[in-house]
Every structure is written in structure tokens, then in C-alpha cells.
Chain A
Amino acid sequence: MGRVKIARKSTFIDMTAMSDVTVLLLTFFMLTSTFLNKEPATVVTPPSVSQEKVQETNWVQVLVNPEGKVWLSMNNDTSADYSNTKMRIALLDKVTELYNETRTKKISFTAQQKETFSKLNTFGVPLDQLGDFLDLSLSDPQEGQDKQDKWLQGKDGNPNHITGIPISVKNDAEHLNEFQLWMKAVRMTPNSNLADAVRAGTGVAIKADANTDYSIIHMVMDNLQTINMNKFTLLTALKEGD
């Protein structure tokens, strides 16, 4: 009996072209991406028709959550002289100096703590707790970072751990609160590009949720006004139309 033989065809699909495409896509994403910074609070910025883009370098972000907690993050120059690491350490030194000038309880940080601080993207705990906060990542950096993130989010279950930079409505230029000390230290940064940007108003950006009460925004603005930082920007999202 003659049977019709069906030719066996290979099911091999050539993936080379596919691979080419994916590599191209991957390259595109790698080059265009700026990583999302982990932030202790998620806020939705209000829409605005303003076309001005946020600076890529040399700016300080004041993150405000609807409960009135405030965190800072500092982005410095790309040049090695004004690198994030160096400038953040300088910032911490400056704020320590300013703090010790007016407070009876003095604070100081070890070289290792400063090193840890320089790697923090967003920070914001009271200065007298900052040492403990930084020590968390001493033994195990990975686990410590998780703990730090939890602390910043206010979810680490320790009632003694306070998150957010102490800020209160105070127009007293003699007795500055910690938020004002930090902002003053930012203005005195050795990074002249950042200092210029802060003076021009583009160096300080407030990021707050559209739903936040004005009283809270007002408190932040008032604090900045007290130290004569009258120019700053508000972070907004793009709005179409109008």
C-alpha cells in the first residue's frame, strides 16, 4: 500500500529579528529612563497649564503630604566637585552646625553616618533621631534600607520614631524650626549652581497633593518666607487644553 508521506516541516521560528527589535527597545528605555524615586508619600500634583519643565539637576524638592508632614530631597550637579555625595555631607554638616548654635542638646554624626546620609534620596526625620535612623543600615544595608523606608512612611510600628521634618507655624526669625534650618543649610550649600538656582527661585520645588488643605501649603510657604526664601516653584502635572 502506498501511503502519501507528509513532509515533516521544522517548527523552528527564527527569533533573530525579534531579538533585534527587543534589544533596540531595551536600549531606548535604558537611555531615556530616569528612575522613579522612592518617596515616603504618594502625592498627585495638581494640573496646570504651565509649560516650564522641572530642572534635571540642582534643585531641592519639598515633599508635603496631606497631613502636613514634610520631607526633603536634594539633587545636585552632575560634575564631580558638586556631586550628590559631597554636597549631601556638606548639607548635613551645615545643618548640624546651625542646630548646635541654637539648641542646648547638641548633635553630631560619625563619618559612617554621614556616608549613609549621602546615599539617601529622600530624608526627613527630626535631627535628634537622625543618628538612630542612619544607624539602621549599619549592619545590614539591605534590611536597613527597608527599615528606613518604613520609618519614613511612618509604618515601622515604633511610636518613638517620628517621620517628617519638624515644621510648625512660626514666624520667629530668631528661633528657627528644623525645616527652616535645613532650608537655610540648602541656601548655604557649597554647590554654587544650586545656590544660584535657589536664589532665582527654580531651585526649590514644593510637591504636594492637589487635595491638600491650603493651611498646610500656607504653613510651608510661611516657613520659607520667614527665612526670606520668597521665590520657589510648585510642581504640577501637565494639563491639556485651555
Chain B
Amino acid sequence: MAEVQQKDSGGKKGRQKKMTIRVDFTPMVDMNMLLITFFMLCTTMIKSQTLNIALPSNEKIQDETQMNQASEDQAVTIIIDAKRIAGKPDVIDTIGGIKPIIYYYFGKAGGVDGIGADGIIKVNNLEMTELAANTGVPGNPVYNGIRKIIREKNKLVVEAIDKERAKFQREGHEMTDEEKAQFNDAAKKIRRDEKLNPPVIIIKATPQAPYGALVAILDEMQINNIAKYQIDNMSHEDTLLMLDYAKTHPAK
């Protein structure tokens, strides 16, 4: 330890002197503690995660919409909105402090016939839902809100992926890295399998929608194995539908 015992044997008188040299480490510990505190306060242990997104390039947007019209029966449009009074959040929620409202419709805005040039809505196929997580217990999940809707639409893909996962799962064993890679490859193929009718999801957001809700919806795409989705701008028809919805469903 911090003691050094010295034997003084060189004395002529034949008596041995024992000397103990003790080094006091207390100031050293004090200083170390201070340094540790400094490093603890100044470090970031948790590294940020990233979410990759790819937007369609500006010039191609025209083609993109034409492409979507082709697969109209599988198109789902999600519109993110938020309730706010002049910049003040009125409904507090866990996501970013502002309660997001999620609207969605299948296929074309205004049903099969769409909205005429006169802006008269024959069928308002807009529905309102919410961002809601799983309320079930592990092993028996109950899906709510937008997740339930996306899952229903992507049923075949989700089922096929669950089946694939079951192949790799054994009782009480985690998947090895190799198996994980195999499973991921298989899942990727299933997600893009046209025979399974995967939906094409178009994500739109109103200007006042919180950014956190957009990320939450992008998350839903990952959770529900959606391969085809894109972020798009609000169209005139979408606004008309939302106004009509607000008229026919007055706030309580």
C-alpha cells in the first residue's frame, strides 16, 4: 500500500531504526473525482440515431404522380395535422408536446370519381385516426390508430414475414448474425413482392404539423414493413377534403 517500510541497517550503533513513509492519497482522489465529474458532465454517451429518407427529385414529380395513379387501388394517403391555437399547443401529448391528428384516405381523393373541377365533394373518403402504439401484452399485441390501418392494408406482407421469422426462431435461442442477415434478405424480397399487394403510402403534412409526428409516421413504415412510401406535398384536393371533414365533423 502507500506505506514504504525502510530498514535502516547502516547505523553504527547496531540499533535498527524503522521508518514508515506514508503518502497521503486523499488530495489525489479528490482531484480524480473532480476530473471524473468534469468528463461525466461533458460527454455524450448516447449517440444519435439516424433515419434515412430519399425524396423524389424535383423534376420527376410529374412522373411520380402518374406512377401512383397506376396503382391507385393500393394507394394510401396519410395527412399529418395538428391542432393549435396561434402557435400555442392546446393539446399536450407525448410526441413533441403537440397532439398530432392523422387523416388518411384510400385511393383517390374523393373516392373513385374524385373531386370535380368545381370543387364539389361527392364522397368524402377522408378518415381521422391517431398515432397510437400497441396496447396489448407482449406476444399478443393489439394495434390501434394508424398502425392498425396500415397493417390491415399490408396484411399479406406482414403474414409472410412472420412466417419467415418463425423459420429462424427456435425455443430459447436468439437469432445468430448469419441468420439475421438471411432473414433480412428474405424480408426485403417479401416487402417488394408485388403478388402480395403491398400498399403505396403517400405521406403529407400540413404546415403546422409537428416534425416529430412525421418521424413517427416514417417509423410506422419501418414497423409495418412498408417498402413503398414517399413524402409529398399537400394538394388542393387534400385541403378541400380536410375542410369538408371539419364541416361535417364539428369539434365537440
Task: Report chain A residues within 8 Å CB of B210.
Answer: 210-214
| Interface residue count on the A side (C-beta < 8 Å) | 61
In the complex, which residues 166-205 of chain A have their Cβ closer than 8 Å to any Cβ of chain B?
Answer: 171, 201-202, 205
Is there a chain A Cβ closer than 8 Å to B58's Cβ? Answer: yes
Task: Report chain A residues within 8 Å CB of B218.
Answer: 48, 234
Q: A16-B1, A46-B215, A214-B80 are in contact. Are A52 and B32 (CB under 8 A)?
A: no
Q: What distance in Å separates the Cβ of A214 from its nearest Cβ neighbour in chain B?
A: 4
Does A22 contact B222, Cβ atoms closer than 8 Å? no
Q: What distance in Å separates the Cβ of A11 from its nearest Cβ neighbour in chain B?
A: 12
Q: Tell me if A's interface is mostly helix, strand, loop or mixed.
A: mixed
Does A35 contact B32, Cβ atoms closer than 8 Å? no
Task: Report chain B residues within 8 Å CB of A30.
Answer: 39
Task: Report chain A residues within 8 Å CB of B24.
Answer: 12, 15
Does B134 contact A209, Cβ atoms closer than 8 Å? no
Partner of A14, one of B1, B51, B58: B1
Q: Tell me if B's interface is mostly helix, strand, loop or mixed.
A: mixed
Does A202 contact B52, Cβ atoms closer than 8 Å? yes
Question: How many A-B residue pairs lie within 8 Å, measured between CB atoms?
Answer: 183
Does A33 contact B43, Cβ atoms closer than 8 Å? yes
CA distance A19 to B1 in the complex (A): 11
Partner of A218, one of B22, B33, B43, B207: B207
Does A49 contact B2, Cβ atoms closer than 8 Å? no
Does B205 contact A218, Cβ atoms closer than 8 Å? yes
Does A29 contact B46, Cβ atoms closer than 8 Å? no
Q: What distance in Å separates the Cβ of A169 from its nearest Cβ neighbour in chain B?
A: 11
Interface membership of chain B positions 3-36, coded 1 if the CB is closer than 8 angstroms to chain A and 0 otherwise = 0000000000000000000101110110011011
Is there a chain B Cβ closer than 8 Å to A63's Cβ? Answer: no
Task: Report chain B residues within 8 Å CB of A53.
Answer: 47-50
Which one of A212, A213, A232 has the greatest number of beta carbons of chain B within 10 Å?
A213
Does B36 contact A25, Cβ atoms closer than 8 Å? yes
Residues of B at the A interface (CB closer than 8 Å) are: 1-2, 22, 24-26, 28-29, 32-33, 35-36, 39-40, 42-58, 80, 95-98, 133-134, 205-212, 214-216, 218-219, 222-223, 231, 233
Residues of A at the B interface (CB closer than 8 Å) are: 12, 14-19, 22-23, 25-26, 29-30, 32-36, 45-54, 171, 201-202, 205, 207-218, 221, 224-226, 228, 230-239, 241-242
6 nearest A-B residue pairs (beta carbon): A210-B212, A15-B25, A215-B207, A210-B96, A22-B32, A29-B39
